[in-house]
Amino acid sequence: MPLSDDQKAEIAAQRESSATTRRPTVAALEEVLYNALPVLDHGFVRVVDYMGDDAAIVQAARVSYGKGTRRVSEDAGLINYLMRHRHTTPFEMCEIKYHVKLPIFVARQWIRHRTANVNEYSARYSILDNEFYLPKPEHLGVQSAANRQGRGEALTGAEAERVMALLREDSERTYAHYEDMLNEDAAGNPKDPGRQGLARELARMNLTLNFYTQWYWKIDLHNLLHFLSLRADPHAQYEIRAYADVMLDTVRRWVPVAYDAFCQYRLGGFHLSEKGLAAVKRMLAGEAVEQKDSGLSPREWREMMAALGREG
């Protein structure tokens, strides 16, 4: 995960500075504030700012002026209640801002979550670095036969080597052509003063989707947890899940009580439909229930039975 000299200097300066504030801060999150937490081969996640903590969630729910005299256990009980019953507004009182470096194809998937404020690195004005994502061999999965959006078993042997060679060769070639069309080096200096370069906004279209981009991404806790519930799920694409896992740990540091509630009621929980709940009630009553008489589709039935730890 190479950082530019400018980025290293910025992070060092931010880490060395401090400020006196009356606002709540969270020591565990302060430990990693501004640090670049590595993801994939060249990517990272950095927490660059945040507002609020677990107490802010409780305060918003009670509409009080402070923590009061209530015990921590009571605060945890309230946050669990809010999470369990999907009372989302108090979680919106907390916000966090990330600096993320990620492959373009991951960014295009990520941006589908439209509840954040985003400002992305612009290749219209700047030259993209020669950094591209190459998956590890174990992540070179074949197309899944059961899921059109997913991957199956990993390629092995000569076929895996062939695919890796193609990915590297295509990336290196397109970047070389990108530089040639620009006729500029990374600093923007002409390589051949006698030749005009293509506009940056046009030259970028030749690059492959595994090249890295960067953005600042600010979001409230409620919408962040929704993002993580989808992207930290085992069924999510591996590359975006790698980012979600790192961000999930920053949430653990930031709002540990809300994090525990989220893990219990969202990540570790399972939502039953009306028909699914009816089927479970019939099972608990001792009735033998099968998919064909449950009212559930085969896929929903399999998912429910897997969550219940039973054969479908």
Q: Which residues are catalytic?
A: 231
Contact 138, 242 (CB under 8 A): no
Contact 139, 238 (CB under 8 A): yes
What is the rounded CA–CA span in Å between residue 137 and residue 161? 8
- Which DSSP category does 264 fall into? I
Give the torsion sign (CA, 140, 144, 45, 53): negative
DSSP strands (E only) in 52-197? 95-103, 117-120, 141-143, 151-154
Amino acid at 134: L
Contact 18, 25 (CB under 8 A): no
Residue 48: CA atoms inside 13 Å, Cβ hemisphere, count?
18
Helix, strand, coil % over all residues of the chain, rounded to 5: 50, 15, 40
